[in-house]
Structure 1
Amino acid sequence: MKINLPGLICAVVLIWPALQEASAQGTSYQKLTSNDFQGIPLTNGDGVVAYTNCTIDFHYEANPKDNYYLLKFDIKVTMNRNRSWMNRRMIKSQDQLAEILRHEQGHYTIAYMEQQELLRTVGKTVFYANYRQQAQAIFDRIDAKYKQLNLDYDADTEHMVNRVQQNSWNAYFDKKLAYMPPVNED
């Protein structure tokens, strides 16, 4: 039995529509560049300069085994270049562009951290006959955590305007990435 559950995680707004094996299938951490923002800017006078849109896509295949199920997961995070945008007319210097990219990198990092936690969690879970509910509960719990983290990030940094808080979050993300436990940790 194969289950496909798409999930969507966005920069400013988060929307989200495992025992034995979990894989990221080639997903690795991505450093954002201005080329990753190919979408058309939404200009409604709210001062938003950039928007990052990432998708967390998870699939699993379930196979019965004795009194439990082996679930093989494939969980990916993708930077959606055509849905992410940057209002280049509002960017006045290379330094400002670098700050904007650094802030948007934080949103991507949150999506990446969610993907990695999902992979680690499902890899350590024993699934039984109610595996669909178990998997959904894991996804819902972890997604709620990262939705809140995304909201806190934008609130604390005031969408990067508060440079002290932005620098604090940058350090937090750098530390989380440097010390992130491996997916296949025992």
Structure 2
Amino acid sequence: MLALLLVRHSTVVPVSAMIEELWNEDPPRSAVTVVQTYVLGIRKRMAEFLDVEQGEVADRYLRTWSKGYLFDARDCVLDVRDYQVMAEAARCAATVGDDRRAVELYTASEALWTGPPLLDVEAGNPLTAELTHLEQLRLVNQERRIEALLRLGGHREACPDLARLTAEQPLHERMQAYYMYALCRSGNGIERSRSITISPN
């Protein structure tokens, strides 16, 4: 439940989503009460860790809303939030033509990934959907980084990443095309590829 709150940070997570996360389609009659008890337990652990009152945790971090709870991450170090912020800044940089800065920001955001997210958490349906979204977002951002790097002429530098990404995503046609293009432009292809337009998204 805490993982779901963190992944959906700064947005209200309905109690109904928490119930589905914990019990899927077979919740007990006491599900709402149990969720409330779990939230109190999370607040207690956070208060002990931060050495503050539980009321401060409720006001500042894990807030109660009319039909759910919100984890406010503004005062926290949260990798998923930092990743999203840097990736969006990178996308904006590419949009205005600053590909070098875009590559730097995408690379910095990628460094926050140390493995599959929440590997030690048994995810229910809502959390599984969020993790799938994160993985897809990561793939899109990797593609955008490669595009910016290719626009800068970094064909040789892009090849190792493209080799890995095409192996991991064998059905990703655009990534396969970028790999062939990068190989040809770096002198590793049989012949030069045709012109490929790589526009910032």
Common fold by TM > 0.5: no
Higher RCO by CA contacts (8 Å cutoff, separation 6 or greater): 1
More strand by percentage? 1
More helix by percentage? 2
